[in-house]
């Protein structure tokens, strides 16, 4: 048990070390996330519509957390290849479960920090007051949805193993597709009819729906400075769906990654140059 904890911590610490090593890039990406979120939120401010502003703010914050978590896990293998350590990591006498757990835990911590940075920044750009919102319920929803997004990230992380040249780009295509169909900044009902069924396959759809109810969006009693957040019992449907998605996607992600790893070792795809 002690060995497992130490190995997991080692992978978490390596993520921290890489972040510190490329801190200038981290600052740039956090600045970009903040500016992008503020730009979206200011659309609601310009329309002088508090409900719209709050909808955009919640969408920006939730998407920032979910996409950051997914992206850090999905790109972890690409980072290994760029650093030239991919082959050493995959050949080390450490279980892949411990390796991926360490990566996922660091990605979760990194996503929380980035989302807090964006939240603080949005407070400077908008007259945001979350009094009355069920923030504890929001944390529960994010905790449950995290499992599903980790599973998606693990499957996406296998793409750079399959294709050293195009795998990393493919992870962003998948991420962009989720952004399109999940209703981050608009109701999924405005999507073309042929595209709407895809929204039911994205865990982000249910995460956003639950968080908006918990914050008080859609409630006629919600006014600026006094929101009427729904109780956790009001989002049990979304929580159950997210839990089921996590129960499927997490083992599936580990299985897919394991299969691709076996294939990569057999075909010599672990080289830095591919």
- The string of pLDDT tens digits covering residues 192-242 is 999 999 999 999 999 999 999 999 887 767 777 778 888 999 999 999 999
Distance CA 127, CA 139 (A): 22
| Burial of 63 (C-beta count, 10 Å sphere; 0-12/13-18/19+) | buried
Q: Which domain holds residue 22?
A: 2-267
- Give pTM, 2 decimals: 0.86
pLDDT at 13: 83
Distance CA 117, CA 24 (A): 16
| Burial of 3 (C-beta count, 10 Å sphere; 0-12/13-18/19+) | exposed
Contact between 113 and 194 (Cβ < 8 Å): no
In a domain, 272, yes or no: no
How many distinct structural domains can be found in the chain?
1
- The string of pLDDT tens digits covering residues 177-194 is 899 999 899 889 999 999
Task: Select from 78, 256, 71, 76 the least CA-distant residue to 172.
Answer: 71
Please report which confidence band the pLDDT of residue 169 belongs to, taking 50, 70 and 90 as the band edges: confident
157 or 56: which carries more pLDDT confidence? 56
In a domain, 273, yes or no: no
| Burial of 197 (C-beta count, 10 Å sphere; 0-12/13-18/19+) | exposed
E strand or H helix that includes residue 135: helix 135-162
Is residue 223 helix, strand or coil?
A: strand
pLDDT at 274: 43
- The string of pLDDT tens digits covering residues 42-55 is 998 898 888 888 88
Quick one: average pLDDT of 57-86?
A: 82
Please report which confidence band the pLDDT of residue 138 belongs to, taking 50, 70 and 90 as the band edges: very high
pLDDT at 164: 66
Beta-carbon contacts of 124 under 8 Å, excluding residues fewer than 6 positions away, are none
In a domain, 274, yes or no: no
Backbone angles phi, psi at 163, to 5 degrees: -135, 100
pLDDT at 7: 81
Please report which confidence band the pLDDT of residue 245 belongs to, taking 50, 70 and 90 as the band edges: very high
- The string of pLDDT tens digits covering residues 72-130 is 888 777 777 777 777 777 777 788 788 888 888 888 888 888 889 898 888 888 887 77
pLDDT at 165: 64
Quick one: average pLDDT of 157-171?
A: 75
């Amino acid at each position: 048990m002690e060995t497992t904890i130490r190995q997991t911590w080692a992978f978490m610490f390596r993520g921290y070390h890489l972040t510190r090593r490329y801190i200038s890039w981290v600052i740039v990406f956090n600045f970009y996330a903040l500016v992008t979120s503020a730009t979206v939120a200011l659309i609601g401010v310009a329309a002088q519509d508090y409900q719209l502003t709050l909808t955009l703010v919640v969408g920006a914050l939730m998407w920032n957390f979910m996409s950051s978590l997914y992206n850090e896990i999905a790109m972890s293998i690409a980072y290994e290849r760029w650093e030239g350590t991919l082959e050493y990591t995959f050949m080390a006498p450490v279980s892949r479960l411990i390796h991926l757990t360490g990566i996922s835990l660091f990605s979760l911590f990194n996503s929380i920090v980035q989302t807090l940075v964006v939240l603080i920044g949005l407070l400077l750009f908008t007259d945001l007051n979350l009094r009355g919102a069920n923030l504890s319920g929001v944390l529960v929803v994010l905790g449950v949805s995290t499992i599903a997004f980790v599973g998606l990230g693990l499957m996406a992380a296998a793409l750079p193993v399959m294709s050293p040249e195009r795998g990393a780009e493919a992870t962003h295509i998948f991420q962009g597709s989720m952004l399109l169909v999940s209703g981050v900044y608009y109701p999924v009902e405005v999507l073309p009819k042929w595209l709407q069924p895809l929204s039911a396959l994205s865990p982000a759809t249910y995460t956003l729906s639950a968080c908006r109810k918990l914050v008080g969006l859609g409630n006629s009693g919600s006014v600026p400075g006094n929101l009427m957040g729904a109780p956790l019992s009001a989002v049990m449907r979304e929580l159950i769906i997210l839990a089921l998605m996590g129960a499927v996607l997490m083992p599936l992600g580990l299985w897919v990654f394991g299969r691709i790893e076996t294939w990569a070792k057999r075909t010599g795809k672990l080289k830095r140059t591919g």
